[in-house]
C-alpha cells in the first residue's frame, strides 16, 4: 500500500462523510459544511497527486489546490449569504421545509 | 506510511465525522475547524507548506468564522426539537456509502499502478509566487475577478431589504 | 508677353503650407462648438464664428504673402501636403492640400468676403430666434468652402463639395417654416445633386485611369503631365479622349453648383434664404466653387489642346457659359423681386466666367470671379440692407426714392451696380469683363460667343439701371417710411465697395498683374498693353455698349415712378416678350411637364405594378394557403384531435409520475446526482480494470 | 567578544544540547527554545502589567500599585497567586468543553506566533520560508477561540463582546495583512529573517529600516492601528468595554482561565509588537551603524518594550471608539489607504534608486491622506444604528 493510496483513501473517506452530511442533515448551513468537506477532500487529492506525481516542480497540483481554496472561500461566502437571506425570508433553515419555489 | 500520517488522518476524519454527526450546530462548526486544521497539517506533511498555511488562513480564519456567523444569524445555534437528520437520512447514508465504496474500490484497483514513495519536492515561496504571476497568471486573474464578484454578490444577497443598515 | 517662368517644383514644404489645413478646420470647429451651444448663447456663437473666420483670414493672408514672395523671387509656388487616409492593398486613398497662386487668391477672397458677411449677418439676423444655429451653419459652410479651395485630392474636394451642398441646403431652408424656403432648399439640393452625380462619375473615372486621387503630387498627380498623357491616349465615346470626357463630367458638376444653363433653376429660388446667405453662397463662394473647380482641373480640360487651340471640353464650357450669360440676363430684365434680379444677374455673370475660362484660360475667368465676388456680395448685402430698411419688402415696385432715405446704402449700391455693369476705367467689373470679351474676340473657333457676351453686357447695364432707378429714384411707394441700416451692416458694404473699385487696378492690360501671378509669369508695367491688336476696339465696344445700356435703362425708367399696379414700361412696349421673360422663359414649367411629370408617371406605374401584379400574386398564393388551411382544419377537428387528446392524457399521467421525483428538495437531487456519479465511476473502473 | 555576547543564547543552547546523543539534539534544541520562550514571555507579561498600571497611574495622575514589594514591583506575583487560588466558576448553562478549551486555544495559538519571530541574530525558533504567512494563519485562529469563549458561556454580554471582537478582528486583519504585504513586496520574501536582513544595511550610519520610507511610514502607522485593534487594546477595546458589556467575551471566566485570557491578550500584544518591529523597525538591527556592537537581542527587546510603551500610552490617552466608527474607519479609510500604499510600494520598487521616488511616493500618500480625510470629515452621518449580529 503506497502512501499515495493512503492519502487517496482518506480523501475518499472525507468526501463520503461530507456527502453523507450534505445528504442527511436538515440544516442548510450543515449541508454547506458537508460541501466544504467534499471540496477539501478534493484539495487533499490534488496535493497528494502533486506530491507523488511525476512533475512536482511544475506545481500544477498545488496551484490547483490553492485556486480551489480561493474558490471555496467565495462559494462559502455566497452560500452562507443565501442561507441567511432565505432564513430572513422563510424564517427557517430546514431544507425539508424549503421545497417551494414560491415565496 | 508514516506514523504522523495515521495520527493526522485520524484527527481529520474524526473532526469531519463530528462535524457531520454532532447535534449542536456550533459544535459542528468547531469540529469542522478541527477537520480543517487536520487537513492543513496533512498538507504540511505532504511538504505543501504554502497550501497548508493558506488552508489555515482561509478556512479556519475566514470560512469557519463565516459559518459561525451564519449560524448565529440564523438562530441555528439551538438544536431543533424534531431531530437534526432529514427523514430520508438512511437513503443519504446509503448513497454516501456507495460513493465511498466506489472511490475506495477505484483506489485499491489502481494501487499497483500508483507511484512508490518519491523524494519530497522542495518548493520555495519564491517559486510559487513566480508561477502564480507567471504560468498561472490567467487563473489568478480569473480567481481575483471571481472573488470580487462573490464578495459583491454576498453583500448584495445578505443586505437587508430595508435600507440604512450596516 | 514674357516667357513663363520654368515651373520649379518645391519638395520642401513651408510651415504655412503645413498648417494650411487649419484654415478650413477653424470654422468647422467653431461650427462644432456652436452646434452644442444653447440657442440662447447668441453672443458666444457669433463671436466664435467671426473669431475663427478672422483667424482663417489671417492664415490665408499669410499663405498668400508666402506665395507672393515665392513668385517675386521668380518661381511658381506649388506646395502640396499629401497623406494616405486609407490603405487598401496596393491602392491607397490619399488626401491632401495644395498651396498655389490659385488656391491662395481664392482663400483670401473667400475668407475676406466670408468674414465681412459674418459681421453683416450679426446685424441682419439680430432679431432671429435661431441666431446661434444660423452662425453654426454659416461657419460650417465657410469651412467646407475653404476645404474645397485647398483640396488637392479629388476625393477631399468632393467631400467638401458635398458638405457645401448640404450646408447650402440648410441655409437656404433656414426659415424652414416658410414653405417656399423649404421647397427652394429641396430644389437646390436635388438640382445640384444631378450635377454632382456626373462629377462623382468623373472622379471615379479619373481615379480608375490614373490610379491616384491627388491632383498634384510632384509629377505623379492625376492632372500633371504624366497622367495626362495617359489620359489622352485613352479614347472615349464620340471622338472624345478620356481626358475630354472626364472634363465634361466634371464640368457637369461645376454647372450644377454654378447654376449654368440647364441646371440654373435652383439659384433664383434659393433667394428664399436670408440675404447674407444669398450674398455668401450665391454671390461669392458656392456658385464660384464650380468656376474654381474648372480652374483647378484646367490642365485636364486643356489637355491635348494645340498651341492657341482649344479642346472639346473647353468649347462646351464656352458655349454653355455664353448661352447662360445671355439667357439669364434676358430673364433678369423682367423680374420685380430685388434679390431675384441679382440672382439672375449672378447666373449670367457665372456664364461670363465660364466663357472666360473656356476661351481665355484660368486667369481671365478667375479674375472675373474675384471681382464679381466682391461687387456681387456688395450688391446682395446692399439689397439686404434695402430690404431691412423697407421692413422686409422685396418687390422693387413698392420701393423708390430711397437714395435720400438710405444714402450710404445707395452710394455703395451704385458702386456695385456700376462695377457689375462694367462702367469704364474706374470699376473692376470693366476690366475683368473686358478681359473676357477680348479673349472671346481672339477665340479661334467661333465669333458668336463674342457677340453674345456683348449683348449680355448691354442687358446687364440695362436691367441694373432699371433696378436702381426703381429702388433709389422716383418717390417712396411703400407703406412705412424706410430707414438707414445700422453701421454693422453699412461698414462691410463700404469695405466691399472699396474693393469693387480697387480690384480693377490689378487686372488692367497695362499691368496684368493678376494674370501673370496666376500663370506664374514675371509681370511688368508697360503701356504697350493697350497696343495689343484689337484691344482698344474691344474696350471701346464694351464702353459703348455699357453706356447704351445705361442710357436705355434711364430712358425707360429713370427718375419716374410708376405705381406698383400699373404695367412696366417695357411691358407696354413689347408685352409678349415681357410675359415670356417675366415667367423666366418657362424653364421651370418645362421641367415640370417633362422631367417631373415623367417621374410622377413612372411612380404611378410602379404603384400600379405593386398593387395589381405583385399584390395579385400575393393574394393568389395567400388564398391557396387559406384553402389548404381549411382542409387541414377539417382533418384536425375530425381525425387528429381525438387521438391527440388521448395522447395528451397519457402524457400528463406519465408526467405526473415523473413530477413525483421533482420534490423540490435539494438533497433528493444531490442524492440522484451522487448515484449517477457512482454508476458512471463504476462503469469506468470496470471497463479499465481488465 | 561582542560576537559571543551577541550569540550568547545560541551558544548556550548548543552547549546544553551537546550533552545529548546526536539523534535527539535537533528536537531537544527546539524544545529548549520553546521552553525558554514559554518561560520568558510570561515573565515579561508580569513585568508589563505592573509597568502598565504604574504608567496609567502616572498618566491619570495617581500612584498606581505601590504596596507589594519595592515600589509594588511584586504586584504581579500577588495577582498570580490570587488568580491561581481563586475558585474556577463555570456557569451552569455553559458549554463546558468549549468553555474550557477557549482560553487554552487562545494562549496556544498566540504562543505559536512567537515561533517565527527573529529575536536576534540567528535567534529564531523555526526559520520558515513562509514565516509571515504562518504568523497570520495562526493569528487568524485566535478569533475562533474568542468566539468560543463568548459563545460557550451563554451570556449575552459575552456573546456580544465576542461578536464585536470577531468582527473587529476580521476587519482589521485585512488591514494588517495589506500593510505587511508592502514590506513583502519590497523585501521580496515572506521569511521574517530575510526581511530583517534586508533592513540591516546602513548609509551614513543610518539604517535602511522600512519605516524610513514613505510607504513604510504609512504602512507602519496603519499596521499600528490594525495591531491595536487586533489585540483589542484601547482605543479599540470595545469587545471588553467595561462600561457597555461587563468584560466582553471573558465576562464568565474567573480564576486561572481568566488569567489565561489576560496572558493571551498581553502575549498577543508582545507578538504583534515583535512582528511590527521585525517588519518596519528593522527587527534586531541597530539604529546606528556605530551601535552594532550592542547585542542584537537587546535591540529587539528594547524596540519591543518601546512599542509596548506606546500601546500603554495610547491606552492612557485615547477615548474608546464607537462600533460604527470603528468599522467605517477600517473599511472606508484605512483599507483604501492600504491599497493605495500597495500601489505606492510598487511604484517605489519600479522607480528604482532615484530621488524622484521619494517625492512621488510621499506626494501621492500625503495628497490621498488629506483628500480622504477631508472627505470623511465632510460626510459624518450619525444616527440610530443596529448591528447585524445583535438582531
> pLDDT tens digit string along D48-58?
888 888 888 88
- Considering only CB atoms, which chain B residues are within 8 Å of D141? 33, 37, 56, 60-61
Residue C561 in this model has a pLDDT that exceeds 50: yes
When comparing pLDDT for D307 and C553, which is higher?
D307
B75 and B1 together in one domain: yes
Q: What is the ipTM of this complex?
A: 0.70
Compute the 3-state secondary structure of chain A and give helix, strand, coil in percent, each to the nearest 5: 80, 5, 20
pLDDT of residue D236: 81
Query: Is the CB of C687 inside 8 Å of chain A's CB atoms?
Result: no
- Considering only CB atoms, which chain A residues are within 8 Å of C673? none
* Angstrom distance (rounded) from CA D79 to CA D75: 6
pLDDT of residue C50: 92
* Angstrom distance (rounded) from CA A11 to CA A44: 6
Query: Residue B97 and residue A16: Cβ atoms within 8 Å?
Result: yes
CB C542 within 8 A of CB C562: no
Query: Residue B92 and residue C671: Cβ atoms within 8 Å?
Result: yes
Query: Residue A51 and residue B71: Cβ atoms within 8 Å?
Result: no
pLDDT tens string C271-296: 888 888 887 877 778 888 888 888 88
Kindly state the average pLDDT of the residues D4-9: 78
- As a whole-number percent, the residues of chain D with pLDDT over 90 amount to 3
Contacts for A22 with CB less than 8 Å, ≥ 6 apart: A31, A34, A35, A38, B92, C667, C670
Predicted confidence band of residue C566 (pLDDT cuts 50, 70, 90)? low
Q: Does domain A3-90 have CATH number 3.30.460.80?
A: no
The domain segmentation of chain A, as residue ranges, is 3-90
Q: What is the dihedral of CA D137, D142, D145, D150, to 10 degrees?
A: -130
Contacts for D155 with CB less than 8 Å, ≥ 6 apart: D91, D251, D252
Predicted confidence band of residue C57 (pLDDT cuts 50, 70, 90)? very high
pLDDT of residue B163: 46
pLDDT of residue D380: 59
When comparing pLDDT for C152 and C481, which is higher?
C152
pLDDT of residue B46: 86
Predicted TM-score of the model (pTM): 0.54
Query: Residue C664 and residue A22: Cβ atoms within 8 Å?
Result: no
The chains in contact with chain A, meaning 3 or more Cβ pairs closer than 8 Å, are B, C
Q: Kindly report the CATH number assigned to the domain that includes residue B36.
A: 1.20.120.1200
- Provide the domain count of chain B: 2
Q: How far is B86 from chain D (nearest CA, A)?
A: 26
Tell me the DSSP string of D215-243: HHHHHHHHHHHHHHHHTT-TTS-GGG-TT
CB C258 within 8 A of CB C289: yes
Q: How far is B108 from chain D (nearest CA, A)?
A: 35
For C690, other C-beta atoms within 10 Å of its C-beta total 4
Residue C624 in this model has a pLDDT that exceeds 90: yes
Whether B107 is covered by a domain: the verdict is no
* Angstrom distance (rounded) from CA C626 to CA C603: 32
Report the residue from A19, A24, A101 with minimal CB separation from C664: A101
pLDDT tens string D235-249: 887 777 666 666 778
The residue assigned the cell 502512501 is: A3
Query: Residue A19 and residue C674: Cβ atoms within 8 Å?
Result: yes
Kindly state the average pLDDT of the residues B110-136: 80
Kindly state the average pLDDT of the residues C617-646: 86
Predicted confidence band of residue C52 (pLDDT cuts 50, 70, 90)? very high
pLDDT of residue D38: 86
Report the residue from B17, B58, B108 with minimal CB separation from A73: B58
| B vs C contact (3+ beta-carbon pairs below 8 A) | yes
- Mean pLDDT lowest among B2-16, C582-596, D42-56, D376-390: D376-390
Whether B44 is covered by a domain: the verdict is yes
Query: Residue C674 and residue B88: Cβ atoms within 8 Å?
Result: no
- Considering only CB atoms, which chain B residues are within 8 Å of C667? 86, 88, 92
Please give chain A's pLDDT, 103 residues, in tens.
678 888 888 999 999 999 998 888 888 888 888 989 999 999 999 988 888 888 777 888 888 898 999 888 888 888 888 888 888 777 777 776 766 666 5
Predicted confidence band of residue D17 (pLDDT cuts 50, 70, 90)? confident
pLDDT of residue C226: 76
- As a whole-number percent, the residues of chain C with pLDDT over 90 amount to 7
- Considering only CB atoms, which chain C residues are within 8 Å of A24? 667
The chains in contact with chain B, meaning 3 or more Cβ pairs closer than 8 Å, are A, C, D
pLDDT of residue C629: 92
Residue C4 in this model has a pLDDT that exceeds 50: no
pLDDT of residue C5: 47
Kindly state the average pLDDT of the residues D156-174: 84
Predicted confidence band of residue C525 (pLDDT cuts 50, 70, 90)? low
Question: What integer best gives the mean pLDDT of chain B?
Answer: 82
Query: Is the CB of B13 inside 8 Å of chain D's CB atoms?
Result: no
Query: Is the CB of C665 inside 8 Å of chain A's CB atoms?
Result: yes
When comparing pLDDT for A73 and C587, which is higher?
A73
pLDDT of residue B165: 43
Strands (E), C100-226: none
pLDDT of residue D379: 66
Residue C674 in this model has a pLDDT that exceeds 50: yes
Which grid cell sits at A1?
Answer: 500500500
Residue C3 in this model has a pLDDT that exceeds 60: no
Query: Is the CB of C666 inside 8 Å of chain A's CB atoms?
Result: yes
Whether B110 is covered by a domain: the verdict is no
Last residue of a domain, one of B47, B80, B113: B80
pLDDT of residue A102: 60
Helix axes D192-199 and D131-152, enclosed angle (nearest 10):
120
Query: Residue C671 and residue A23: Cβ atoms within 8 Å?
Result: yes
Kindly state the average pLDDT of the residues B107-129: 78
Whether B105 is covered by a domain: the verdict is no
pLDDT of residue D261: 86
Whether B154 is covered by a domain: the verdict is yes
- As a whole-number percent, the residues of chain A with pLDDT over 90 amount to 17
Report the residue from C668, C677, C685 with minimal CB separation from B99: C677
Question: What integer best gives the mean pLDDT of chain C?
Answer: 82
Last residue of a domain, one of B53, B80, B107: B80
Contacts for D202 with CB less than 8 Å, ≥ 6 apart: D208, D288, D289
Last residue of a domain, one of B80, B114, B145: B80
Could you give the C-alpha distances from C274 to A54, B128, C385, in angstroms and in order?
88, 77, 12
Tell me the DSSP string of C454-487: HHHHHHHHHHHHHHHHHHHSS---SSSPP-PPPH
Give the residue numbers spanning the domain of B130. 124-161
Query: Is the CB of B54 inside 8 Å of chain D's CB atoms?
Result: yes
Helix axes A28-52 and A3-24, enclosed angle (nearest 10):
170
pLDDT tens string C356-384: 888 877 888 888 888 888 888 888 888 88
B2 and B75 together in one domain: yes
pLDDT tens string D115-151: 888 888 888 888 888 888 889 888 888 888 888 888 8
- Considering only CB atoms, which chain A residues are within 8 Å of B141? none
Kindly state the average pLDDT of the residues D82-108: 85
Query: Residue C682 and residue B88: Cβ atoms within 8 Å?
Result: no
pLDDT of residue C7: 47
pLDDT tens string D316-356: 888 887 777 788 788 888 888 898 899 888 888 888 777 78
pLDDT of residue C626: 92
Residue of A nearest to C670 (CA): A23
Q: How far is C655 from chain B (nearest CA, A)?
A: 24
- Considering only CB atoms, which chain B residues are within 8 Å of C661? none
Query: Is the CB of B106 inside 8 Å of chain C's CB atoms?
Result: yes
Which grid cell sits at D87?
Answer: 475558585
pLDDT tens string C305-363: 654 567 778 888 888 888 888 888 888 888 888 888 888 888 888 898 888 888 877 88
Residue D225 in this model has a pLDDT that exceeds 70: yes
pLDDT of residue C373: 87
Query: Is the CB of B40 inside 8 Å of chain A's CB atoms?
Result: no
Report the residue from B17, B143, B154 with minimal CB separation from A67: B143
Q: How far is A26 from chain C (nearest CA, A)?
A: 9
Q: How far is B109 from chain C (nearest CA, A)?
A: 7
- Considering only CB atoms, which chain B residues are within 8 Å of A90? none
| D vs C contact (3+ beta-carbon pairs below 8 A) | no
When comparing pLDDT for B75 and A66, which is higher?
A66
Whether B6 is covered by a domain: the verdict is yes
B73 and B145 together in one domain: no
- Considering only CB atoms, which chain B residues are within 8 Å of D195? none
The residue assigned the cell 445700356 is: C549
Predicted confidence band of residue D386 (pLDDT cuts 50, 70, 90)? low
Most confident by average pLDDT, C562-566, C676-680, D4-8: C676-680
Kindly state the average pLDDT of the residues D76-85: 84
Query: Residue B109 and residue C668: Cβ atoms within 8 Å?
Result: no
Query: Is the CB of B86 inside 8 Å of chain C's CB atoms?
Result: yes
Nearest Cα to D229, choosing from D174, D149, D151? Answer: D174
Predicted confidence band of residue C237 (pLDDT cuts 50, 70, 90)? low
Query: Is the CB of A90 inside 8 Å of chain B's CB atoms?
Result: no
Residue of B nearest to C682 (CA): B102
Query: Residue A7 and residue B97: Cβ atoms within 8 Å?
Result: no
Predicted confidence band of residue D205 (pLDDT cuts 50, 70, 90)? confident
- As a whole-number percent, the residues of chain C with pLDDT over 70 amount to 91
pLDDT of residue D391: 45
Query: Is the CB of A9 inside 8 Å of chain B's CB atoms?
Result: yes
* Angstrom distance (rounded) from CA D214 to CA D362: 5
Predicted confidence band of residue C51 (pLDDT cuts 50, 70, 90)? very high
Predicted confidence band of residue C623 (pLDDT cuts 50, 70, 90)? very high
Amino acid at each position: 500500500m503506497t502512501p499515495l493510496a493512503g492519502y487517496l483513501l482518506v480523501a475518499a473517506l472525507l468526501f463520503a462523510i461530507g456527502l453523507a452530511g450534505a445528504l442527511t442533515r436538515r440544516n442548510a448551513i450543515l449541508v454547506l459544511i458537508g460541501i466544504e468537506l467534499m471540496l477539501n477532500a478534493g484539495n487533499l487529492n490534488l496535493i497528494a497527486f502533486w506530491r507523488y506525481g511525476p512533475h512536482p516542480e511544475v506545481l500544477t497540483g498545488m496551484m490547483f489546490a490553492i485556486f480551489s481554496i480561493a474558490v471555496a472561500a467565495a462559494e462559502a461566502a455566497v452560500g452562507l449569504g443565501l442561507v441567511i437571506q432565505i432564513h430572513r425570508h422563510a424564517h427557517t433553515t430546514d431544507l425539508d421545509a424549503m421545497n417551494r419555489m414560491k415565496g | 506510511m508514516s506514523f504522523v500520517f495515521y495520527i493526522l488522518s485520524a484527527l481529520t476524519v474524526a473532526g469531519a465525522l463530528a462535524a457531520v454527526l454532532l447535534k449542536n450546530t456550533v459544535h459542528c462548526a468547531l469540529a469542522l475547524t478541527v477537520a480543517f486544521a487536520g487537513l492543513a497539517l496533512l498538507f504540511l506533511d505532504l511538504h505543501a507548506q504554502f497550501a497548508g498555511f493558506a488552508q489555515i488562513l482561509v478556512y479556519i480564519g475566514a470560512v469557519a468564522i463565516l459559518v459561525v456567523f451564519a449560524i448565529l444569524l440564523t438562530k441555528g445555534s439551538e438544536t431543533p426539537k424534531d431531530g437534526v437528520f432529514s427523514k430520508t437520512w438512511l437513503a443519504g447514508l446509503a448513497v454516501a456509502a456507495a460513493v465511498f465504496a466506489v472511490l475506495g474500490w477505484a483506489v485499491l484497483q489502481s494501487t499497483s499502478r500508483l507511484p512508490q514513495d518519491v523524494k519530497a519536492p522542495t518548493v520555495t515561496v519564491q517559486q510559487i509566487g513566480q508561477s502564480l504571476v507567471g504560468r498561472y497568471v490567467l487563473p489568478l486573474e480569473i480567481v481575483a475577478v471571481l472573488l470580487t464578484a462573490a464578495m459583491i454578490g454576498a453583500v448584495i444577497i445578505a443586505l437587508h431589504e430595508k435600507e440604512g443598515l450596516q | 508677353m514674357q516667357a513663363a517662368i520654368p515651373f520649379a517644383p518645391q519638395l520642401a514644404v513651408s510651415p504655412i503650407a503645413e498648417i494650411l489645413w487649419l484654415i478650413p478646420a477653424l470654422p468647422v470647429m467653431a461650427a462644432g462648438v456652436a452646434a452644442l451651444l444653447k440657442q440662447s448663447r447668441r453672443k458666444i456663437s457669433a463671436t466664435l464664428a467671426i473669431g475663427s473666420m478672422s483667424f482663417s483670414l489671417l492664415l490665408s493672408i499669410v499663405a498668400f504673402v508666402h506665395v507672393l514672395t515665392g513668385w517675386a523671387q521668380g518661381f511658381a509656388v506649388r506646395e502640396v501636403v499629401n497623406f494616405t487616409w486609407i490603405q487598401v492593398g496596393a491602392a491607397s486613398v490619399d488626401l491632401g492640400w495644395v498651396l498655389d497662386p490659385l488656391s491662395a487668391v481664392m482663400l483670401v477672397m473667400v475668407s475676406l468676403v466670408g468674414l465681412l458677411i459674418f459681421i453683416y449677418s450679426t446685424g441682419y439676423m439680430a432679431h432671429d430666434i435661431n441666431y446661434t444655429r444660423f452662425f453654426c451653419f454659416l461657419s460650417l459652410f465657410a469651412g467646407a468652402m475653404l476645404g474645397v479651395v485647398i483640396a488637392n485630392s479629388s476625393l477631399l474636394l468632393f467631400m467638401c463639395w458635398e458638405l457645401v451642398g448640404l450646408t447650402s441646403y440648410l441655409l437656404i431652408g433656414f426659415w424652414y417654416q416658410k414653405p417656399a424656403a423649404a421647397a427652394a432648399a429641396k430644389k437646390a439640393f436635388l438640382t445640384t445633386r444631378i450635377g454632382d452625380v456626373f462629377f462623382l462619375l468623373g472622379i471615379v473615372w479619373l481615379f480608375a485611369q490614373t490610379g491616384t486621387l491627388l491632383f498634384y503630387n510632384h509629377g505623379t498627380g492625376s492632372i500633371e503631365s504624366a497622367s495626362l498623357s495617359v489620359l489622352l491616349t485613352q479614347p472615349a465615346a464620340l471622338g472624345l479622349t478620356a481626358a475630354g470626357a472626364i472634363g465634361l463630367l466634371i464640368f457637369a458638376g461645376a454647372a450644377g453648383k454654378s447654376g449654368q444653363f440647364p441646371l440654373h433653376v435652383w439659384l433664383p429660388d434659393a433667394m428664399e434664404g436670408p440675404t447674407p446667405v444669398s450674398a455668401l453662397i450665391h454671390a461669392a463662394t458656392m456658385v464660384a466653387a464650380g468656376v474654381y473647380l474648372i480652374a483647378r482641373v484646367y490642365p485636364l480640360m486643356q489637355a491635348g489642346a494645340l498651341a492657341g487651340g482649344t479642346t472639346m471640353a473647353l468649347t462646351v464650357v464656352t458655349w454653355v457659359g455664353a448661352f447662360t450669360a445671355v439667357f439669364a440676363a434676358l430673364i433678369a430684365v423682367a423680374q420685380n423681386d430685388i434679390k431675384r434680379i441679382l440672382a439672375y444677374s449672378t447666373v449670367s455673370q457665372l456664364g461670363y466666367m465660364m466663357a472666360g475660362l473656356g476661351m481665355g484660360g484660368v486667369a481671365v475667368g478667375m479674375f472675373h470671379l474675384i471681382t464679381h465676388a466682391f461687387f456681387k456680395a456688395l450688391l446682395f448685402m446692399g439689397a439686404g440692407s434695402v430690404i431691412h430698411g423697407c421692413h422686409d419688402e422685396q418687390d422693387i415696385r413698392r420701393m423708390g426714392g430711397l437714395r435720400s432715405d438710405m444714402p450710404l446704402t445707395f452710394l455703395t449700391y451704385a458702386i456695385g451696380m456700376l462695377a457689375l455693369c462694367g462702367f469704364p476705367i474706374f470699376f473692376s467689373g470693366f476690366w475683368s469683363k473686358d478681359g473676357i470679351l477680348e479673349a472671346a474676340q481672339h477665340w479661334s473657333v467661333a465669333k458668336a460667343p463674342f457677340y453674345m457676351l456683348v449683348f449680355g453686357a448691354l442687358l446687364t447695364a440695362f436691367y441694373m439701371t432699371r433696378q436702381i432707378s426703381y429702388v433709389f429714384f422716383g418717390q417712396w411707394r411703400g407703406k412705412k417710411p424706410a430707414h438707414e441700416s445700422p453701421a454693422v451692416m453699412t461698414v462691410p458694404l463700404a469695405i466691399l465697395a472699396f474693393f469693387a473699385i480697387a480690384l480693377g487696378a490689378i487686372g488692367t492690360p497695362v499691368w496684368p498683374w493678376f494674370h501673370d501671378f496666376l500663370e506664374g509669369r514675371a509681370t511688368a508695367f508697360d503701356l504697350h498693353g493697350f497696343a495689343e491688336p484689337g484691344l482698344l476696339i474691344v474696350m471701346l465696344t464694351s464702353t459703348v455698349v455699357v453706356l447704351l445700356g445705361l442710357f436705355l435703362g434711364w430712358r425707360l425708367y429713370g427718375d419716374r415712378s410708376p405705381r406698383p399696379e400699373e404695367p412696366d414700361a417695357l411691358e407696354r412696349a413689347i408685352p409678349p416678350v415681357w410675359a415670356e421673360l417675366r415667367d423666366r422663359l418657362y424653364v421651370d414649367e418645362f421641367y415640370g411637364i417633362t422631367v417631373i411629370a415623367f417621374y410622377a408617371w413612372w411612380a404611378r406605374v410602379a404603384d400600379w405594378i405593386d398593387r395589381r401584379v405583385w399584390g395579385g400574386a400575393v393574394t393568389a398564393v395567400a388564398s391557396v394557403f387559406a384553402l389548404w388551411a381549411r382542409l387541414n382544419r377539417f382533418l384536425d377537428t375530425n381525425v387528429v384531435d381525438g387521438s391527440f387528446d388521448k395522447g395528451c392524457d397519457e402524457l400528463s399521467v406519465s408526467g405526473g409520475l415523473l413530477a413525483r421525483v421533482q420534490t423540490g428538495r435539494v438533497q433528493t437531487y444531490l442524492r440522484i446526482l451522487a448515484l449517477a456519479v457512482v454508476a458512471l465511476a463504476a462503469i469506468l473502473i470496470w471497463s479499465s480494470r481488465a | 567578544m561582542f560576537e559571543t555576547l551577541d550569540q550568547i543564547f545560541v551558544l548556550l543552547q548548543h552547549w546544553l544540547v551537546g550533552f545529548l546523543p546526536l539523534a535527539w539534539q535537533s528536537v531537544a534544541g527546539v524544545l529548549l527554545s520553546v521552553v525558554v520562550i514559554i518561560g520568558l514571555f510570561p515573565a515579561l507579561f508580569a513585568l508589563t502589567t505592573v509597568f502598565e498600571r504604574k504608567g496609567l497611574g502616572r498618566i491619570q495622575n495617581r500612584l498606581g500599585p505601590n504596596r507589594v514589594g519595592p515600589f509594588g514591583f511584586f504586584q504581579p506575583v500577588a495577582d498570580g497567586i490570587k488568580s491561581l487560588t481563586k475558585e474556577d466558576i463555570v456557569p451552569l448553562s455553559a458549554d463546558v468543553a468549549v468553555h474550557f478549551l477557549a482560553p487554552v486555544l487562545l494562549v496556544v495559538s498566540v504562543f505559536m506566533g512567537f515561533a517565527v519571530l527573529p529575536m536576534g541574530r540567528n535567534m529564531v525558533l523555526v526559520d520558515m520560508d513562509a514565516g509571515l504567512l504562518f504568523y497570520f494563519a495562526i493569528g487568524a485562529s485566535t478569533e475562533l477561540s474568542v468566539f468560543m469563549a463568548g459563545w460557550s458561556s451563554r451570556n449575552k454580554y459575552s456573546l456580544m463582546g465576542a461578536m464585536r471582537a470577531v468582527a473587529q478582528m476580521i476587519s482589521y486583519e485585512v488591514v494588517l495583512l495589506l500593510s505587511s504585504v508592502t514590506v513583502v513586496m519590497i523585501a521580496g520574501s515572506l521569511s521574517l529573517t530575510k526581511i530583517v536582513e534586508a533592513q540591516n544595511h546602513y548609509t551614513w550610519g543610518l539604517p535602511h529600516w522600512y519605516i524610513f520610507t514613505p510607504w513604510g511610514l504609512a504602512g507602519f502607522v496603519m499596521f499600528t492601528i490594525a495591531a491595536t485593534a487586533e489585540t483589542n487594546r484601547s482605543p479599540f477595546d470595545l469587545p471588553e468595554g467595561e462600561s457597555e458589556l461587563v468584560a466582553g467575551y471573558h465576562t464568565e471566566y474567573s480564576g486561572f482561565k481568566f488569567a489565561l485570557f489576560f496572558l493571551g491578550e498581553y502575549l498577543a500584544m508582545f507578538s504583534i509588537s515583535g512582528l511590527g518591529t521585525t517588519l518596519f523597525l528593522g527587527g534586531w538591527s541597530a539604529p546606528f551603524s556605530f551601535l552594532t556592537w550592542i547585542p542584537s537581542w537587546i535591540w529587539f527587546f528594547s524596540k519591543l518594550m518601546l512599542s509596548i510603551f506606546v500601546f500603554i500610552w495610547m491606552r492612557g490617552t485615547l477615548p474608546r471608539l464607537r462600533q460604527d466608527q470603528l468599522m467605517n474607519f477600517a473599511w472606508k479609510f484605512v483599507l483604501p489607504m492600504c491599497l493605495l500604499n500597495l500601489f505606492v510600494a510598487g511604484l517605489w520598487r519600479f522607480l528604482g534608486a532615484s530621488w524622484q521616488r521619494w517625492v512621488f511616493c510621499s506626494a501621492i500618500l500625503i495628497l490621498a491622506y488629506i483628500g480622504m480625510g477631508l472627505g470623511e470629515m465632510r460626510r459624518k452621518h450619525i444616527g440610530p444604528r443596529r448591528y447585524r449580529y445583535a438582531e
